[in-house]
Structure 1
Amino acid sequence: MTCSVDNSNKLAFIDDALTERAKMGHLRTLQSLIPQNAVSVVKNGQTLLNFSSNDYLGLSKHPALIKGGQEYLNRYGTGATASRLVVGTYDIHQQLEEKLAKLCGKEAALLFNTGFQANSTIIPALVDKKSLVLCDRLSHNSILQGILLSGARWTRYKHNDLGHLDTLLKKGISQGYNRILIATETVFSMEGDQSDVDGLINLSQKYNTLLYLDDAHALGIMGEQGMGLTAYKSGIDISIGTFGKAFGSFGAFITASKQMCNYLINCCPGFIYTTALPPAIIGAINAALDLIPTLDKERSYLRQQVNYLQNNLRKLGYQVINSDSPIIPVIIGDETKALKLSQYLEKYKILATAIRPPTVPPNTSRIRLVLSSQHTKEQINYLIDILKKWHEH
């Protein structure tokens, strides 16, 4: 007896998936924007104040980054032409890695093309089906994808609950795993709150585990000279940083020991089989790296505005997650209401995206407000006034 495939209906699963998403109110579409400056964009012909960008220091439009990118573009061309292990390692790649390691107070650094690529391919190079991974319940999807690809046994500990993590570590140690990995973010992308980095280091050392920290949303705005919450700290096996947020560019990197970097150069598919970052990107990152340590004034202003906005939103009766980062989630709960608030804000020329499940847990839909050091006090007060009108209407 032979079986046949109904090729006339081979894409039915796509229609089914999109129909189901639409039915649940989860269907997404792309919205085209034209950036004007660090804090404004044009959408459908209307200029909007942007309170959704991760450009925390406004560096994506900084003349020094543009100049740095142009200089490397003119000198090295448009592409690196191959993977790092073939002919894609230019002198500028290695120079940038050395500079990153030094400024982060670490032994070595290694460039990756994106944070998602790094998390989803490094973790499977560290653990396997005989391993255990313990991650924070609210860890980024890229960390979860890496864990799933590894085939490791995994458990999520309660958000920022090191007591629960300690309990899981005690249990895991007795179960004969070949290694245990703790993986989490330092600043959570949807919550804006922080991990206890020192507490995680202590637990990792207590149980002799691997410690993997994604520092993407802290890099540039927190830590010594703005180099993140993992900078100059020992006891972290791998720290991830990205350049698409406070650095205003694109790409990612890790800091680790030379031994770990050599291991990943040889054993991480996401590094081995990917064309290296293009020269213009390296030039922009290099320029940002010169600027970041000098921006203490901007970081101080940003912290002040974060506190100011949070306090005012609470006075208005909004539920705001306590955050020391520029990420200020305003919890609405209901998905439809969150979307309506986003649309209301856009009516008043404010771009503030609604974040809904499955990106966040059910019944926690929110407006994820994000501040930049380039937002003026007047612009922030305008946002507060419009949110006050919504709350009262």
Structure 2
Amino acid sequence: MSSLQEFLNTRLADRRAQQLYRQHKILAAAPGPLAVVDGRELITFSSNDYLGLASHPEVIAAQQRGALLGAGATASHLVNGHFDIHQQLQHKIAEVTGREAALLFGSGYMANVGAINALVGRGDFVVQDKLNHASLIDGGRISGAQYLRFAHNDLHGLERQLRRAREKSDGKILLAVDGVYSMDGDTAHLAEMAALCDRFDAWLMVDEAHGFGVMGSDAFPCAGSAAAAGLDQQSAPIVMGTLGKAAGNGGAFIAGSQALIDYLTQFARTYIYTTGMPPAVAAGCLRALELMQQEPLRETLQQRIAYFRQRATALALPLENSTSAIQPLVLGCEKTVLGVAEQLQQAGYLVGAIRPPTVPAGTARLRITLSATHSQAQIDGLLQALVAALKSSEVAV
């Protein structure tokens, strides 16, 4: 056996022994919220399709029309892969987010890594929440900037790190945080963070992967958590959003001032050196954003979240402090989480079993995600199945 094969087999065996081995589930089509998973119809509470747009007939029709422009963009955006449909989508994103301009990326990971590495480097500082998404963490680590972290949502810890960075250097300081945390469902204290950035001359970058489309202000109802916190382009100058969650399609964007977007066009390597978004995806995204603005999807989602939390509280389920579409139940033990998730699947419900290293050790959880397309009856059915599964697994309720 080669040393490579031996290394691979050993690491995979360790993963299996620790109850951390991951496997694909095969979907017959996008869940909406019913899905055929591994050949069996389930009600899904594991998707990030918060508004049901991934299976919306108008979004699908828009993608089909967009495909007539070509199966792919054929090259990077700056070579010959930028279409009019891309330009229309960027203008729509700027409008929805209340920013001057926007730039498309292949994924949220590429957007975060590309933006961070374009903005800071050696001699600068990146400050991040310890529970940030992996794309923010990786972007900070490989940027060459000094990397500082603070305990989750700890404003005093953040202030200490910003002061430390400013005392050590008169260079750039970038504070990068999730607006809504993908595994906990809680939101960052963005207004206070913006005030600290102003005090220490730092730049605030907000990852709106789970806020875009489902949160906002009266003026910009779909813009995300930064808008919900009352922040404008000046106070939250760098906003990243994904188009594969609430928008139901794929890709991502950075939104901000025209100068920021012009700068990233020149210096963001993950934008410059990759093939552009397929035109069909851009067309689907554009229609999805129009539907976000036209239909009461956000209000329906908020009603479903409130109903879930009301019913779960009445059943004494161990809820976290989340008012977002992400409703985690932290059970701690990886084996218990897998067992409960399996029982739920046998009862007809698909719920994500989240384990380290995605979450910290000892905090394995069920990640229940809600959609505007869920019915109250489906939520009631999930909760009844969940109570039964927890009791059979001897989890205190």
Give me the TM-score of the superposition, normalised by structure 1.
0.94
Q: Greater shift after overlay, 332-341 or 94-103?
A: 94-103
Distance apart, 1:45 and its partner CA: 2.4
What is the letter of the counterpart of residue 221 of structure 2?
Answer: Q
What is the correspondence of 1:235-250 to structure 2 with a 5 Å cutoff?
235-250=235-250
Between the aligned partners of 2:379 and 2:25, the Cα distance in structure 1 is 24
What is the letter of the counterpart of residue 291 of structure 2?
Answer: L
C-alpha distance after superposition, 1:133-153 (max 9, x if no partner): 111111000111101111221
From 217, 220, 242, the equivalent of 2:213 is 220
Is the CA contact 1:318–1:331 (under 8 Å) kept in the aligned structure 2? no
Aligned to 1:282: 282
Q: Greater shift after overlay, 269-278 or 146-155?
A: 146-155
Is the CA contact 2:179–2:190 (under 8 Å) kept in the aligned structure 1? yes
The change in CA–CA distance for 1:36 and 1:280 in structure 2 (over 3 A counts) is closer
What is the correspondence of 1:214-363 to structure 2 with a 5 Å cutoff?
214-223=207-216, 224-231=220-227, 233-234=232-233, 235-296=235-296, 298-363=297-362
Distance apart, 1:352 and its partner CA: 0.6
Give me the TM-score of the superposition, normalised by structure 2.
0.93
From 4, 20, 33, the equivalent of 2:27 is 33
Aligned to 1:101: 94
Asked if 1:78 corresponds to 2:68, the answer is no
Aligned to 2:395: none
What is the letter of the counterpart of residue 369 of structure 2?
Answer: V
Between the aligned partners of 1:37 and 1:314, the Cα distance in structure 2 is 27
C-alpha distance after superposition, 1:224-259 (max 9, x if no partner): 332212347132221001110110100101101111
Is the CA contact 2:30–2:54 (under 8 Å) kept in the aligned structure 1? no
Distance apart, 1:78 and its partner CA: 0.8
What is the letter of the counterpart of residue 377 of structure 2?
Answer: E
Asked if 1:68 corresponds to 2:62, the answer is yes
Distance apart, 1:19 and its partner CA: 2.0
Is the CA contact 2:88–2:286 (under 8 Å) kept in the aligned structure 1? no
Q: Greater shift after overlay, 220-229 or 303-312?
A: 303-312
What is the correspondence of 1:122-201 to structure 2 with a 5 Å cutoff?
122-201=115-194
Give 3-state SS (helix, strand or coil) of 2:80's partner. Answer: helix
Between the aligned partners of 1:109 and 1:324, the Cα distance in structure 2 is 28
The change in CA–CA distance for 1:177 and 1:335 in structure 2 (over 3 A counts) is farther
Between the aligned partners of 1:348 and 1:208, the Cα distance in structure 2 is 53
The percent of aligned pairs where both chains have the same amino acid is 37
RMSD over aligned CA atoms reads: 1.6
Between the aligned partners of 1:18 and 1:123, the Cα distance in structure 2 is 32
Aligned to 1:57: 51
Q: Greater shift after overlay, 181-190 or 25-34?
A: 25-34
Give 3-state SS (helix, strand or coil) of 1:230's partner. Answer: helix
Between the aligned partners of 1:187 and 1:242, the Cα distance in structure 2 is 12
Between the aligned partners of 1:81 and 1:10, the Cα distance in structure 2 is 36
Is the CA contact 2:59–2:287 (under 8 Å) kept in the aligned structure 1? yes
Distance apart, 1:294 and its partner CA: 2.0
Distance apart, 1:80 and its partner CA: 0.8
Give 3-state SS (helix, strand or coil) of 1:86's partner. Answer: coil
Between the aligned partners of 1:265 and 1:15, the Cα distance in structure 2 is 42
The change in CA–CA distance for 1:204 and 1:36 in structure 2 (over 3 A counts) is closer
Give 3-state SS (helix, strand or coil) of 2:286's partner. Answer: helix
Distance apart, 1:37 and its partner CA: 4.8
Is the CA contact 1:302–1:371 (under 8 Å) kept in the aligned structure 2? yes
Between the aligned partners of 1:177 and 1:18, the Cα distance in structure 2 is 46
Between the aligned partners of 2:77 and 2:173, the Cα distance in structure 1 is 30
The change in CA–CA distance for 1:93 and 1:36 in structure 2 (over 3 A counts) is closer
Give 3-state SS (helix, strand or coil) of 1:88's partner. Answer: coil
Between the aligned partners of 1:244 and 1:100, the Cα distance in structure 2 is 14
Give 3-state SS (helix, strand or coil) of 2:50's partner. Answer: coil
Is the CA contact 2:184–2:326 (under 8 Å) kept in the aligned structure 1? yes
Give 3-state SS (helix, strand or coil) of 2:221's partner. Answer: helix
Structure 2's unaligned 5+ residue stretches are: 393-397
Asked if 1:23 corresponds to 2:17, the answer is yes
Give runs of ≥4 in structure 1 deviating > 6 Å: none
Aligned residues: 385
Between the aligned partners of 1:97 and 1:347, the Cα distance in structure 2 is 43
What is the letter of the counterpart of residue 64 of structure 1?
Answer: E
What is the letter of the counterpart of residue 212 of structure 2?
Answer: L
Is the CA contact 2:31–2:47 (under 8 Å) kept in the aligned structure 1? no
Q: Greater shift after overlay, 326-335 or 155-164?
A: 155-164
Between the aligned partners of 2:381 and 2:283, the Cα distance in structure 1 is 36
Is the CA contact 2:214–2:246 (under 8 Å) kept in the aligned structure 1? yes
Distance apart, 1:201 and its partner CA: 1.4
Distance apart, 1:113 and its partner CA: 0.7
